[in-house]
Chains A and B, each alone.
Chain A
Amino acid sequence: MRTPPHNLFDKVWAAHAVRELVSGQTQLLIGTHLIHEVTSPQAFAMLQDLGLKVAMPHRTFATVDHIVPTDRQTEPFSDPLADAMIKALRKNCAEHGITYFDLASGRQGIVHMVGPEQGITQPGTTIACGDSHTSTHGAFGAIALGIGTSQVRDVLATQTVALGRLKVRRINVEGKLGPGVYAKDVILHIIRTLGVNGGTGFAYEYGGAVFDRFSMEERMTVCNMSIEGGARVGYVNPDETTFTYLKGRPYSPTGAAWDEAVARWRAFASESGCAYADVVTIQGADIPPTVTWGINPGQGIAITETIPDPAKTKEVDEKAAIVEALAYMKLTAGAPIKGTKIDVAFLGSCTNARLSDFKEVAKYLKGHRVSPGVKAIAVPGSQIVGKLCAELGIDRVFREAGFDWREAGCSMCLAMNPDKLVGDQLCASSSNRNFKGRQGSPTGRTLLMSPLMVAAAAVAGSVADAREVFGVR
């Protein structure tokens, strides 16, 4: 008898399900555990209180990212709290025999950059990390999910978590994207369309012609922000693009083991005719360069649109949300978003700080200057990206344009390091969250957009259409 076709989520789940728990949840094996300095120290303390050891130190990988100063990574950090955090991580990793990509390793970076770069992130695996943007790793065809600190403890102690199964929503993006439209616009558009809680209870499976053509880095950008749409997990089926990316990376299999691994990985991909709880199809041509105007990532509009007017909606929730957002953002209903003056341009974060992001921007930025009065910073997501940019002269293009070129870290995405907005500064940002106070000032304001749109805003001094500023055709 032939088994019915399965999707990737079901197959990876089945391969990692240990047993059913009394609550009805599944004890799910977590093959790869990534840890960082913010959400792990309390978990190690809990482990110690329970007298437990790390179950699989060889499947646990650490790096430091949130608190790292990006002007200079030298220790001790000027912030004593940050300094205590890196010391705690270093000590915990040493005590438990955990591989730690420290500042001196040349391989440090945002945890969601390090996993893929090292070849630790692989198809058909389960990955957990105490960070909601762990969904990034789903780009490789893994079930990758953010967990809280108590669950970090659970994974350290047992290499498993207690989890309820998710439904799978297939999201097809068909056709082609227009010029100047990027992976970031695709995910901002998806969140705008399906809502910030539309994905609650779902894993998002992204596919269709646009994803088939996407590079791994573009797939990562989309999967990264799945959680902004409420989906704890987002993934793309593994294909030749995935295998080509992984080949030759430090933790990728080699020789005969490589061929075996590729065969295994390929078999995890969703099968034709498999079932989904829901299917959504979007045409790539309908996706505009998108900018957020509000205080959650679903509050986005096309660069050519005007800021929503609460008077134009009868829906009570929407009206209230617009009023609250406009009051915080100090923006005017009905005004074009284009031309809104900015104070800061931030190009970085686990969403958009990979080599291809900087490369694409550098292609257009050459010969342009950051507008006087705009503070522009570019923060590579990892030391490896920083090094590659230096080798290719990309950092020079940014510096010559007036960007401050920094060292690797999470930086102003959430401002746990010294990179912060001041007062009610307005920031054009390639990051993932525009929540109130997100970028370090309780009144700071964030507009999310693609890296090229950030560069366009930096050059124009105000929110701008990158297609016009840089003549993208």
Chain B
Amino acid sequence: MALAKITSISGRGLAVPGNDIDTDRIIPARFLKAITFDGLGEGLFFDARKAVTAAGQVHPLDDARFRGAKILISGANFGCGSSREHAPQAIQKSGFRAVVAESYAEIFFGNSTTIGLACVSADRADIARLTAAVEANPALEVTVDLVRQEIRFGGQTAKLTMRDSARDALVHGRWDPIGELLEGTEAVVAAASRLPYLAVPQK
């Protein structure tokens, strides 16, 4: 199956600032009570949004000015905690195609890459610059360029970094590994035969 080559993502940005934003916050556990990923977008940052509304303010995700944003901007250790793929699924189903953050938790990063959600890292100062630009002008077009490894916005440029294996997978349309894993079936059988605990039990 041919996957899209994800070389560059352009669109509006939306910042949810803060460090250590965990996957429970991205998608609270009660939204995991389902046997499909359908409709997960509605649960994105659900409780955080409610709390902001209750305080008489407007969460960026509820702010009409940011509607249709494709690039989510956040802080360090984004996506820590639970392994729930529901978190990147909810982000993607809400229309985001890339995340720009200082750093990511391991499992979240892998889950995102596997579904074609590009998670790129940038320096704190650059993220602050990007956040300020987006907040000053929500209609600003932001481009996350995976080939040139830079983020462009309103005449400014910031360097982005991304693990080579993930960048390569996105750029070359190999982000979902299932096809390549299936091609290895013969090698898998050979490797398994060398491990006694994998033998089919004799009845």
Contacts and interface: CB of A to CB of B under 8 A. Distances in A.
User: Do A and B make up one complex?
Assistant: yes
A119 to B, nearest CB: 11
A165 B19 CA distance: 26
Contact of A148 (B76, B80, B111, B178): B111
A211 B24 CA distance: 31
Contacts of A16: 191, 195
Interface stretch (A212-220, A379-387, A430-438, A448-456): A430-438
Nearest to B166: A23
A197 B77 contact: yes
B83 interface: yes
Contact of B192 (A24, A29, A320, A435): A29
Given A23-B165, A58-B200, A296 B20 contact: yes
Interface in A232-269: 232, 260-261, 264
Contacts of A67: 33
**Most chain A CB atoms below 10 A, which of B34, B81, B103:** B81
Interface string B61-101: 00000000000000011001111111010000000000000
Nearest to B88: A148
B35 A42 contact: yes
B178 A41 contact: no
A121 to B, nearest CB: 11
A444 B44 CA distance: 19
Interface residues of A, number: 81
A18 B184 CA distance: 8
Contacts, number: 210
Given A24-B164, A25-B165, A436-B24, A41 B51 contact: no
A216 to B, nearest CB: 18
Contact of A151 (B51, B114, B187, B201): B114
A188 to B, nearest CB: 16
Nearest to A79: B33
Interface string B90-127: 00000000000001111100110011000000000000
B145 to A, nearest CB: 20
**Most chain B CB atoms below 10 A, which of A39, A125, A150:** A150
Interface string A90-134: 000000000000000000000000000000001001000011101
Interface size for chain B: under 10, 10 to 19, 20 to 34, or 35 or more residues? 35 or more
Interface in B166-192: 166, 168-169, 172, 174, 176-178, 180-182, 184-185, 187-188, 191-192
Contact of A150 (B19, B105, B111, B197): B111
Contacts of A22: 168, 172, 174, 180
A164 B111 contact: no
Contacts of B28: 437, 442
A408 interface: no
B124 to A, nearest CB: 9
29 contacts: A15-B194, A18-B187, A21-B180, A22-B174, A23-B166, A23-B169, A25-B177, A27-B187, A27-B188, A42-B35, A50-B178, A66-B32, A79-B33, A85-B33, A147-B107, A148-B88, A149-B111, A159-B188, A160-B188, A197-B77, A197-B80, A197-B105, A200-B106, A264-B196, A296-B22, A435-B81, A437-B47, A438-B24, A442-B47
Nearest 9 A-B pairs (CB), nearest first?
A: A148-B111, A148-B85, A41-B35, A146-B83, A442-B47, A162-B177, A132-B83, A197-B77, A23-B165
